[in-house]
Amino acid sequence: MHSSLPTLPRVHLGVDGPLVGSQGLGCMGMSEFYGATDTTEARATLEQALDLGVTLFDTADMYGLGANESLLSPFVKAHRQRVVIATKFGYTRTAERPDDWSLSNRPEHIRHAVDQSLRRLGIDTIDLYYMHRRTPDVPLEDSVGTMAELVKAGKVRALGLCEVSAEELRAAHAIHPIAALQSEWSVFSRQIEQAVAPVASSLGITIVPYAPLGRGLLTGAAFGQRLETDDSRRHFPRFQPENQAANAHLVATLDQLAKARGISTAQLALAWLQTRARQLDVTVVPIPGTRRRARLMENVAAATLVLDEREMAVIAPLAAAVQGVSL
Ligand SMILES: NC(=O)c1ccc[n+]([C@@H]2O[C@H](COP(=O)([O-])OP(=O)(O)OC[C@H]3O[C@@H](n4cnc5c(N)ncnc54)[C@H](OP(=O)(O)O)[C@@H]3O)[C@@H](O)[C@H]2O)c1
């Protein structure tokens, strides 16, 4: 543990699920979507995260078409007792059809997908298994019911869902306890606060906010101008030139607040999330994504920062002014 950092608090996923550091690590960008990847640096980043008290590591079967799970495998195996590994099923894209974003919640797909993830990760049990997206053609009784069978079979320890509605969350939880809900939540994406967060709070479900840094947008007004040519975000609405300037203008407000506090804009965004979660009485474990060690200490240090009322009031209207839908 680094002595210069406050200890990362530990929280349960769900009422009695795995105990994890209150900030996790999003590993997606280590294999795909966000520009150049570097396996050596990625592995060093995983090790350093654990050293800093981060224990929840987030991947999915579709990140890098399985490559992200394979990348994490030696790390997870080496620290099996300390690492809480979360992965997801749902997307059916393959190496032959990488741009086919079809989904399946069918029981036979779930049973096949979990075995593939376990094989790539090289472990016997996945700590947290998420449905990456719900498809309404399969009743929750069948999809969550199949996930519950995986718990009984010892293949999975705890269950999670991504981006479901308040009603779906409640219904799924009645079928089998849901430990974690992973949905987008940040200064710029606050839809979850209306109906879903109150239900999660009342049921004791931990929210795992993904893209807490707005996919990089919330790390500084200049961020979008630095994207590499093979970066998927170049195609995302919020990063389009017609929206870029207006959104950068909003981020400049965050830059100013952060400067006045002597912290980075990314830290301000992460502190906002923790403060907002406290206001809503919901437990959160945000999973900022990074491919490099240099960012880790900065992000982890923000997990225990609390913003004051004036800062929260300045930030509150920004989400409504963002240009472009989130992708
Ligand atoms: N369930 C879902 O549908 C879903 C969807 C999207 C993502 N996710 C998960 O959520 C995780 C996080 O989301 P995300 O990666 O899309 O977005 P994010 O965490 O909001 O932002 C990641 C971006 O911010 C940069 N960054 C991180 N820390 C920084 C810092 N301190 N200063 C400056 N830049 C910083 C990263 O660049 P560097 O790598 O260069 O540091 C990367 O470009 C993913 O890794 C994935 O595991 C889930």
**Is position 106 within any domain?**
yes
pLDDT at 1 over 90: no
Whether 245 is in a domain gets the answer: no
Task: Kindly state whether residue 223 falls inside one of the protein's structural domains.
Answer: no
User: In this structure, is residue 240 part of a structural domain?
Assistant: no
List pLDDT tens digits, range 224-265.
Answer: 777 888 889 988 999 888 898 999 999 999 999 999 999 999
Q: Is residue 222 part of a domain?
A: no
Cα of 202 vs centre of ligand 1, distance in Å, is 28
Q: Please check whether residue 128 lies inside any domain of the structure.
A: yes
pLDDT tens for residues 147-199?
999 999 999 999 999 999 999 999 999 999 999 999 999 999 999 999 999 99
Q: What CATH number is attached to the domain comprising 19?
A: 3.20.20.100
Residue at 315 is within a domain: no
Q: State the Cα–Cα distance between residues 29 and 35, nearest whole angstrom.
A: 8
**114 found inside a domain:** yes
| CA 291 – CA 216 distance, rounded (Å) | 12
Q: Is 125 helix (H, G, I), strand (E, B) or coil?
A: coil
164 close to ligand 1 (CB < 6 Angstrom): no
What is the distance between the alpha carbons of residues 159 and 113, in angstroms, rounded to a whole number? 15
Among 4, 32, 9, 87, residue whose Cα is nearest residue 283: 9
Domain coverage including residue 35:
10-216+266-308
Given its phi and psi angles, is residue 210 left (phi above 0), alpha (psi -120 to 50 degrees) or beta?
beta
- In ligand 1, which atom is closest to the CA atom of 186? 20
Number of domains making up the chain: 1
| Each residue's pLDDT tens digit, 18-69 | 999 999 999 999 999 999 999 999 999 999 999 999 999 999 999 999 999 9
Residue 266, ligand 1, Cβ within 6 A: yes
The pLDDT of residue 47 is 98
pTM of the predicted model over 0.85:
yes
Closest residue (by CA) to atom 24 of ligand 1? 216
Q: Which residue, judged by its Cα, is nearest atom 41 of ligand 1?
A: 290
